[in-house]
Amino acid sequence: MKKRWLTKACSVALVATMLTGMTACGTTESDGSSPKESSAEASKAEPVEITAMITQSRYYNGLQNMIKKLEEEENISIDVQVVPDEQYEELMKMKLNSGESADIIDYNIPTIYDIVDPEKFFADLSDEAWVDNLLNPNTVLYKGKVYGFPFQSLQGLHGFIYNKAIFEDLGLTVPMTWDEFLDVCETIKNEGDGIVPLHFPKDTWVPQIIITDNMTKALGLEGNAEYGEKLRTNQAKWTDNESFAQVIDYYIDLFNKGYVNEDYLSATYDNSIEAVGTGKAAMHFNGDFFAASVLEAYPDVQLGMFNVPMPTAAEDIISANTASVGFVAYKDSEKLDTVKKVFELWSTPEYADLYFADRAGFPAFKGVNGGDTPDYLTEMKDKYLDTGKYTKAFDAMLGVGVTAVQNYSWVYYLDAPGKGMTGSEVLEKFQSDYESYMKENNQPGF
């Protein structure tokens, strides 16, 4: 009898929790909207709602504030479906192909033009007023037309991020050549009391950066885009360019010399942040956003950034991610007018400043405040960005081939040091995967 009472009490409690859950939910919602309703109701337009699909890792505070502002001032609300990064691309393609798309879709502009046919799916935004305000309109063009709305003119640049305190303690200076860089690693390894010279995680998108970056440097400012184009149309093979294999060999050498953390096959990206932030590791190769993330978690750390090309480099340049975080508008959306209005508003400093308020960056539009350049970036900015000695990586030219790169070669790069593969073996293996992928997708030339 007593036990039956207990079960009953349990289920009552459960139902009660559930009910409070629902009512609480109801009240928060109405709480949120009541002040707006009362304020300046007459002057406001009819409430409109549009839908958006956003990668969860890019649903930044800045963007959230922009969306909030729209709702408060314009009565435009955005229903955001936040999708985990790993599932984003499939879900987006599936929705577009079946005509179920959200009104606006978050992706890198112009990368998305390679993945989905913009003429078929996206609204032409060429005639919008904000296009004239773009600092660098070329980056959003597809066959001369604008299909995407960018936030940035440049997402970030690549290089070594290092912990300044470790360099000071060991009396090291920033290396200028690859040999000097190796010396620095050797010193840290020998005298650093367990400090790891270079930290890599198992996330496949990280270790590939130093390889792709150096392949780009080997091709040089001029040859870069051309070679990417050739790879895309099968006029060149990955194995054709000798320096590609050499780049991979230099990279593998770092592992053989013991400069990389031993647990690179199980460490996560978070571990990299922690290692550099806490001084367990001295360096890491990545985009400059890595430094921002380290500082977010460890505000007191002194970080610097430098560029040292491998001996394969044709000239002293850096690679940068020139694609911008942005949105495309779905062509058949019933609320295209509202979408265009939203983009128009977002291009103004009033809104766009919010985007950069807590994440400094390079704004896409004139007159927008991107925030102060962080300390670690000034040198790189002076030396490379302001002198135009930067380029996007060659793999930005590969079109759909990028999927093959991400799913095969990135995995091989991580796998090669442990399995004793050489650069040319890796590339030979990848070339056959690449060819069959391109064939499968009916790419011209394959």
Partner 1 sequence: MKARRKIEKTFTFFVLLAVGIIYLVPILMMLLGSFKDAGEVLQFNLALPTIWHPENYLYVLETGNILRGYANSLIVTVSAVIVTLLSGAFAGIVIARNSGRSSNALYYYFIFGLTATMQTVTTFALLKVIRLYGSYFGVIMVFVASNLPFTVMSFTSFVKGVPRELDEAASMDGCSPMGIMLKIHLPILKPIMVTNLIIVAISVWNNLMIPLYFFNSSKKMTIPLTIYNFFGMYSRNWHYVFAAMTLTVLPVIILYLCLQKHIVAGMTAGAVKG
Partner 2 sequence: MKRLIHRKKAGLFYPIWFAGPAIVIYGIFYLIPIFFAFVMSFTDWNMNRFMEPVFNGFENFQKLFNDEVFVRSIGNTFLFAVTTTIGKIVLGLALALLLVKPVKGNNIFRTIFYMPCVLSTVVVGILFNAILGRDGLLNEFTAVLGIKPIDWLGSYSTAMLWIILMEIWMWGGFCMFIFISGLQSIPQEYYECAEIEGASKTAKFFKITLPLLMPSFTVVMTLNITGGLKVFDMVYILTNGGPGFDTQVLNTYTYRSFSMGFLGQSCASAVILSVIIVLVTFTVNNFLKKREVEM
Positions that interact with partner 1 (CB under 8 A): 3, 7, 10-11, 13-14, 17-18, 21-22, 24-25, 28, 51, 55-58, 79-85, 87, 91, 94-95, 98-100, 102, 269-270, 273-274, 289-290, 292-293, 296-297
How many other C-beta atoms are found inside a 10 Å radius of the C-beta of residue 365?
21
Biggest CA–CA distance in the chain, Å, is 85
**Residue whose CB is less far from partner 2, 31 or 193:** 193
Q: How far is the CB of 411 from partner 2 (least distance, A)?
A: 6
Q: How far is the CB of 137 from partner 2 (least distance, A)?
A: 28
Binding mask 279-308 for partner 2 (x = CB under 8 A): ------------------------------
Give the contacts of 25 (CB within 8 A, at least 6 positions apart).
none
Cα(294)–Cα(296) distance, rounded to whole angstroms?
5
**Residue whose CB is less far from partner 1, 25 or 42:** 25
How many other C-beta atoms are found inside a 10 Å radius of the C-beta of residue 196?
24
- C-beta separation of 89 from 108 below 8 A: no
Give the contacts of 233 (CB within 8 A, at least 6 positions apart).
443, 444, 445
Q: How far is the CB of 308 from partner 2 (least distance, A)?
A: 27
Tokens of 161: 């991020």
Tokens of 148: 């995407």
Among partner 1, partner 2, none, what does residue 292 contact (CB within 5–8 Å per kind)?
Answer: partner 1
Cα(141)–Cα(311) distance, rounded to whole angstroms?
35
Closest to 362 in 3D by CA, of 341, 380, 344, 345: 380
Among partner 1, partner 2, none, what does residue 432 contact (CB within 5–8 Å per kind)?
Answer: none
Q: How far is the CB of 9 from partner 2 (least distance, A)?
A: 17
Which DSSP state fits 163?
E
Give yes or no for residue 400 binding partner 2 (CB under 8 A): yes
Give yes or no for residue 442 binding partner 2 (CB under 8 A): yes
Phi, psi dihedral angles at 237 (to 5 degrees) = -110, 160
Binding partner 2 (rule: CB under 8 A), the pick from 39, 97, 190, 387 is 97
| CA-to-CA separations, 215 to 212, 225, 312, in angstroms, rounded | 5, 12, 8
**Residue whose CB is less far from partner 1, 79 or 315:** 79
Binding partner 2 (rule: CB under 8 A), the pick from 155, 213, 437, 438 is 437
Q: Which amino acid is at 161?
A: I
Closest to 297 in 3D by CA, of 265, 267, 271: 271
Which residues sit opposite 306 in a β-bridge?
160
Give yes or no for residue 407 binding partner 2 (CB under 8 A): yes
Which residues sit opposite 220 in a β-bridge?
none
Q: How far is the CB of 234 from partner 1 (least distance, A)?
A: 29
Give yes or no for residue 90 binding partner 2 (CB under 8 A): yes
Give yes or no for residue 415 binding partner 2 (CB under 8 A): yes
**Residue whose CB is less far from partner 2, 72 or 89:** 89
Cα(209)–Cα(204) distance, rounded to whole angstroms?
9
Give yes or no for residue 268 binding partner 2 (CB under 8 A): yes
Span near partner 2 by CB under 8 A; candidates 54-62, 256-264, 283-291, 300-308: 256-264
Among partner 1, partner 2, none, what does residue 126 contact (CB within 5–8 Å per kind)?
Answer: none
Cα(66)–Cα(390) distance, rounded to whole angstroms?
31
Tokens of 369: 């405040």
Among partner 2, partner 1, none, what does residue 342 contact (CB within 5–8 Å per kind)?
Answer: none
- C-beta separation of 120 from 96 below 8 A: no
Among partner 1, partner 2, none, what does residue 17 contact (CB within 5–8 Å per kind)?
Answer: partner 1
Interface residues with partner 2 (CB under 8 A)? 86, 89-90, 93-94, 97-98, 202, 261-268, 271, 400, 403-404, 407, 411-412, 414-415, 418-419, 437, 440-442
